[in-house]
Amino acid sequence: MGHSMGDLDLFNPTPEHRALRQTVRAFAEREVEPQALASDRSEHFNLPLFRKLGELGLLGITVDERFGGAGMDAVAAVIAHEELAAVDPGFTLAYLAHAMLFVNNVFLNASDEQRERYLPDACAGRTVCGMCMSEPGAGTDVLGLATTAERRGDGYVLNGAKMWITNGAVDDQTLGDAFLVYARMKGAPRAQLTSFLVDKGTPGFSLGQRLKDKLGMRASSTAELVFEDCEVSERQRVGPEGGATLHMMRNLEIERVTLAAMSLGIARRSLDVMNRYARERTSFGEPLAHFGQVQRHLAESYAEWMAGRSYTYQTAAQIDLGSAGHRLDSDGVKLFCATMAKNVADRAIQVLGGYGYVGEYVVERLWRDAKLLEIGGGTLEAHHKNMTRELGHVQTLR
């Protein structure tokens, strides 16, 4: 679908990007696809498969090679997420939470000592990691979080709960291995957050509940994590006290662009399934693709997918992972692509009719998974608010 994988273009700007796409697509089709439906049905996070992403160099895709990473850019991250999400968005979400929310964040913001302590294992897949931002009472209003950090001796004590944490649990009883946790120093202003690296096994850090029966993204685990007088040392703090708000905002850009990339994978797969079915299935003696109603579903889906794809790759090409400054478009690509993917998957179900409604044809799972992208990593409403604010700083649109 679209440009051939052999072309160098907006979507494969260098031979390295093209080779990455070929590698990830082959891995996705060979290793990820066969387990996707069963993992969705059982709400099972496939840990052995996740570790294979480490062998491929994908878990540290944006990390310097000296810490075990692949040393690639935001476009490479987009390629990996697009290709994996075309077969299993739930598994891809677990990958994103580890590789973007934890690994990329630690690489950009932590000290060399912290990087050396956490990144080699995380890049190799020996650990499963995540990031703790959302809370039971603070999602979109992230600066309203209630988790506190209090100085005690030469360390800190954390208290609070985090909710909707991807990779929070590896299975029903087992915490993930390490987390980047956002908290507010007691008495600190609303806009000043501090982050800490917290390991599984730290006293006072526990798994509240693993959240089951999700609409979609069931192949990734989602959990509540609880901090009760959880003591961490000063060497677990990332950056200065109050300095994590900037880290968070900077990392949100690559998070949103890679979530948009997941939407692209969902849309492409849905379009492929719909296109093939419309040509093979006949009704009233003619292929479905000869009927105007179906032609509209196919044509609009392709145009919207390519529009979102072009916007996402252009935005990714402009992102310097070490700095912020693309808030308008990192929000914009996710705003557009999340709803686009849901709509394309919806049209695919419509074209397939009863077959689209059952798991065997994949599109019902993609449709369920797509809905999360309108909520997680920033709701559509949050993107509207952020983009309107950013547009207030723009004198004229180029």
Task: Please check whether residues 225 and 113 belong to one and the same domain.
Answer: no
Per residue in 244-286, pLDDT (tens digit) is 999 999 999 999 999 999 999 999 999 999 999 999 999 999 9
355: domain CATH number? 1.20.140.10
Q: Are residues 264 and 380 in the same domain?
A: yes
Query: Both 67 and 173 in a single domain?
Result: no
d(CA 219, CA 366): 12
- pLDDT of res. 396: 86
Same domain, 207 and 231: yes
Six token digits for residue 53? 């992403």
Angle at 176 between CA 172 and CA 182, to 5 degrees: 120
Confidence of residue 6 (pLDDT cuts 50, 70, 90): low
Q: Single out the residue in 87, 105, 128 at which a domain terminates.
A: 128
248 and 387 together in one domain: yes
Q: For residue 48, name the pLDDT band (cuts at 50, 70, 90).
A: very high
Q: How many domains does the chain have?
A: 3
As a whole number of angstroms, the distance between CA 111 and CA 79 comes to 28
Q: Compute φ and ψ for 274, nearest 5 degrees.
A: -65, -45
- Separation between Cα atoms, residue 122 and residue 230, nearest integer Å: 23
Same domain, yes or no: 94 and 104: yes
CA atoms of 2 and 275, how far apart (whole Å): 13
Domain ranges, residue 40: 15-128
b/e per residue, 370-392, with b = 16+ CB within 10 A? bbbbbbbbbbeebbeebbeebee
Residue 156 resides in a domain: yes
What percent of the chain clears pLDDT 70, i.e. is strictly above it? Answer: 98
Helix (H) or strand (E) holding 233: strand 222-233
Please give the mean pLDDT across all residues of the chain.
Answer: 96
User: Cβ-count burial of 103 within 10 angstroms (0-12 exposed, 13-18 middle, 19+ buried)?
Assistant: buried
CB 288 within 8 A of CB 363: no
- Last residue of one domain, picked from the residues 107, 128, 149: 128
Token pair of 364, please?
Answer: 């019902």
Q: Which two tokens stand for residue 130?
A: 């995540």
The CATH number for 32's domain is 1.10.540.10
Residues 46 and 90 in one domain: yes
CA 29 remoteness from chain centre: 20
Helix (H) or strand (E) holding 130: strand 129-132
Same domain, 192 and 209: yes
pLDDT digits (tens, 9 = 90+) for 66-112: 999 999 999 999 999 999 999 999 999 999 999 999 999 999 999 99
Q: Is 350 helix (H, G, I), strand (E, B) or coil?
A: helix
**Backbone phi, psi, residue 197, to 5°:** -95, 120
Listed residues 128, 163, 181: the one ending a domain: 128
Phi/psi region, residue 57 (left: phi>0; alpha: psi -120 to 50; beta: rest), is: left
Catalytic residues, which ones? Answer: 255
pTM beyond 0.95: the answer is: yes
Q: How far apart are CA 365 and CA 158, in angstroms?
A: 38
- Count of beta carbons in the 10 Å neighbourhood of residue 185: 16
Q: What digits encode the pLDDT tens for the residues 104-152?
A: 999 999 999 999 999 999 999 999 999 999 999 988 888 899 999 999 9
- Tell me the CATH number at 230: 2.40.110.10
22 shares its domain with 46: yes
Task: Report if residue 112 sits inside a domain.
Answer: yes
Q: Would residue 337 count as lying in a domain?
A: yes
> What type of residue sits at position 215?
L
Is 179 found in the same domain as 169? Answer: yes
**Residue 90 exposure: Cα atoms within 13 Å on the Cβ side:** 31
What is the rounded distance in angstroms from the CA atom of residue 385 to the CA atom of residue 136? 21
DSSP annotation of 103 reads I
